[in-house]
Amino acid sequence: MTTAATWTPEQFRLLGDDVGRVLQGLRELSDDDRRAAAKGLSKALPSLLGELPPAVLMVLAADLGASPAQVVRIIREGLLGYLMDDPEHWRFVLERFTARGPDWARGLEGRLPRRDVDWFHVLLLDELILAHDLPLPSHPGFWQEWHFGDVTPKPGRRWQEHFIAACAVPDGLGWRDADASGFLSRLREGMAALRAAEPVDDEALLRALIEVIARGDARGPQRTALIWAEGLGLLPLLWGRPDLWLPALPGADVAIIARVVEQLPQLDLDDVQLGALAAEVLARPQKPPKRAVIKALDRVGAPSAELLEVVAAAAHDADSTVASRAAKLLERWSHAATARLGLWREPTGVVGMAPVVPLGEPELWAELKDLLAEPREDDPLRHEQLLAGLVAIGWEQGREAVWARLGELLETASEQVQDQELRWPILNDRHGASNFDDDPDGEGCRQECCHPSILADQLASVRHEVQTGEFRMWVERAPLTEFVGWRAREALEAIGEVPCLLSTPTHAGNRVVWEEFRRRVARFVEVGRPLLATDLLVALARIDGAGDWAELPQASVGEAGLPLKEVLAVWQHPVAPAQLGFREAVLGVQGFELEGEEPRVAELVGNGSSWSRRFRPRPGERGEHAAVMGFLPAHPSRPAAEVLTRLPDVGAATTTSHLELLLGSAFRCGPVAALAVVAAVDHVTPAHRDRIAGALCAAWDEGRLAPEDLAEPWRCGWVDELRLGSHQRQVALLVALAEATGLALAWPALVALVESVAAQERPPSGAGLILETLLRFLPEVPTKVRVELPHVVALASRKGSSKAVKVARLIVTALGERE
């Protein structure tokens, strides 16, 4: 080849696109050509990606001394499995990278992405760690991907250390083999070889597996932990060490509980251990384990006070078999069952909203740096704090100083983004390519790619406007989120021109206390600035406990100078409550339409949006940002309709966190929010359901959720429109509320559900269990509370011997005894 100071992309292409041919060409390079190729690889790599096969690029990178960052870019191209087809090629790459030394390997570890770690990255890094005897990574993504490689025990590869570290990653345990028996066979063979070659710490391995259960990992990893225990030959040790697995049961999946109960006849548990097992199992809803455990308690001669309390509660169990056996145990132990459990109480009325602490300047710049460099949504509260902080610093230091600093952060973020190949081309204009496409309607420009953070997108957009004077539209988002973005843009454009924001929360839940709102308005009047229109609208929807509006200073609003008193006059008019309508399904998802509960002054101050107009969330399109859920505490119904629409598309964690934000901020949660909760429990795990129940109880205690609102979805027929099926998960939610001493909150909803089931000509198969739940809690309801169940009474009078009819008759008897 012709010697050149630096190779061009075309010279690399001449080596060919076959790994064997490229290896031969590299061996034939002169020293000068090798130096030129090594020098040119960095600049040539972007144009070679997508042209040459990744296996070829990896061979070039290994032989020519590529940096860890360049290797990671190649790894992201995928298709490196072809490199493994020939052991000689893989050995060549591994030898070259190993020769780079331990620091190069540490650099490769430092390039592990936060998520979506590639299998080849893990494979290569692990080999380098073993070659240089480096500490094992703590990165969760490394271990989650490691589990899906060849993880069978092998001598000489620090396998025990690897396995224990992998088990420490939440929800990371697994395997990629559909054949469990084959996997078990390979585990046994590998473990036998490992035991023959090196000492094995069985207890350390067992403790690592038990931690998967104790931590409350998802169902799959927990069940996999038992498969691993069997394959590693640890089951005898496991069942012989109840001191290890009993404390882990609170986090155990139902399958783990079932396996424990299956072993009960063979387990040598003393009275204390049986009591601990009973305390965990009898509190769960599954009937078979409870029946087995209550039967096993026959062995206990002298129960502890804790066990007596557990069995006394079981005497009120919805399952009559468990309840009767528990009652017999109490009788044998000469302990009377309590008549009531004290589940009915009034809400506490305690409002526990923590104050929001403003960010200091060093913390603000550090937070912004992290936000811009990482592809993640901004935390709703952090979003508020950062906006408020930028406006405050701008008033103190001036507009130019703030935007100069923001420009530096954005430039740095742009370089980091390009290095990491993230799909957020911030400020690509300076590299000769625009990130905006012309709008054919002439209404501005939109970004095709977006940062998940609303604030990050607005910063990039407004910064361009500050630099060039050209208006550029921000990234288009979902309807309600668009308004959140507009409010952020208004604040950023006002940096250096206004003393503060009216709407910055003073307390958690996006609350703004009245005195602080009045003080902020006064600051605007003092400096002769008009109030920001969107900022005022958001603040009015956040004021908690408004005082006398006439006390507010006379101010003007927006560029038009609208008098504040005119805005407030409109704001104080009553607003129509939210009305939910059902539309035809779109893409198989129930459609919704919501009117009412609009911010009263939105159109007046020129801020009409989906918050103030008929709202029709659309399945299949981009979803709303988490910040929307608690953005306007006085208007929770539109976010609730969004939750309803997205239930089939998002996971349990997202649904739960959105509902917690919604329920934790709404001034009054209302029936639409209640419907979102009722529908959501069909899509979440029991652990997430309990979190939702906790948020409901908190809202009720604080006077923001009425029991009648929780019952309204059944009373008005909304639940029937959603066709929720057997309602067993809704019953489980109401049971969770009741058992958390929230029976007064759950009771109207439970009555409405039972009545709707009893009214059907043919009650569903689970009707008996639903009625049994009401019967279980009926003794807890104070006699002053009127209980009317006309449909249950009618069901009890029907002929037949179904469980629903039998339980209905028991309820009628219990009602007679109350009178």
User: Which tens digit of pLDDT belongs to each residue from 10-64?
Assistant: 999 999 999 999 999 999 999 999 999 999 999 999 999 989 999 999 999 999 9
- State which of 756, 784, 806 marks the end of a domain: 756
Residue 382 belongs to a domain: no
Judgement on whether residues 741 and 615 belong to the same structural domain of the protein: yes
Q: How many CB atoms lie within 10 A of CB 594?
A: 23
Judgement on whether residues 593 and 689 belong to the same structural domain of the protein: yes
Predicted local distance difference test score (pLDDT) of residue 420: 41
Predicted local distance difference test score (pLDDT) of residue 338: 64
CA distance 179 to 163: 21
Predicted local distance difference test score (pLDDT) of residue 723: 82
Residue 502 belongs to a domain: no
From start to end of 208-308, where are the E strands? none
Predicted local distance difference test score (pLDDT) of residue 375: 66
Predicted local distance difference test score (pLDDT) of residue 373: 77
Task: State which residues form the domain around 117.
Answer: 1-146
Residue 343 belongs to a domain: no
Residue 195 belongs to a domain: yes
As given in the structure block, the two tokens for residue 598 are: 């609009």
The interaxial angle of helices 686-701 and 743-758, nearest 10 deg, is: 120
Judgement on whether residues 53 and 81 belong to the same structural domain of the protein: yes
Average model confidence (pLDDT) across the chain: 88
Give the HSE-up count for residue 143: Cα atoms under 13 Å, Cβ half-sphere.
19
- State which of 716, 733, 756 marks the end of a domain: 756
Residue 309 belongs to a domain: no
- Cβ(417)–Cβ(425) below 8 Å: yes
Judgement on whether residues 80 and 167 belong to the same structural domain of the protein: no
Nearest CA to 158 out of 139, 134, 174, 138 is that of 134
Judgement on whether residues 808 and 725 belong to the same structural domain of the protein: no
Predicted local distance difference test score (pLDDT) of residue 587: 58
Judgement on whether residues 70 and 59 belong to the same structural domain of the protein: yes
3 state SS of 615: strand
Judgement on whether residues 613 and 737 belong to the same structural domain of the protein: yes
- State which of 228, 243, 268 marks the end of a domain: 268
Predicted local distance difference test score (pLDDT) of residue 421: 39
As given in the structure block, the two tokens for residue 142 are: 């490394």
Predicted local distance difference test score (pLDDT) of residue 365: 95
Judgement on whether residues 721 and 608 belong to the same structural domain of the protein: yes
Using the Cα atoms of residue 310, residue 311, residue 312 and residue 316 in order, give the sign of their dihedral.
Answer: positive
As given in the structure block, the two tokens for residue 595 are: 């009117």
Judgement on whether residues 627 and 741 belong to the same structural domain of the protein: yes
Q: What is the DSSP string of 10-28?
A: HHHHTT-S-HHHHHHHHHT
Residues of the chain with pLDDT under 70: 1-4, 175-179, 337-340, 375, 414-451, 471-476, 586-589, 620-622
Residue 722 belongs to a domain: yes
Judgement on whether residues 724 and 766 belong to the same structural domain of the protein: no
Contacts of 274 (CB under 8 A, 6+ apart): 296, 297, 299, 300, 307
Q: How many structural domains is the chain composed of?
A: 4
Q: Is this model's pTM higher than 0.85 or not?
A: no
Predicted local distance difference test score (pLDDT) of residue 512: 96
Judgement on whether residues 75 and 218 belong to the same structural domain of the protein: no
Nearest CA to 769 out of 282, 283, 285, 261 is that of 285
Judgement on whether residues 611 and 744 belong to the same structural domain of the protein: yes
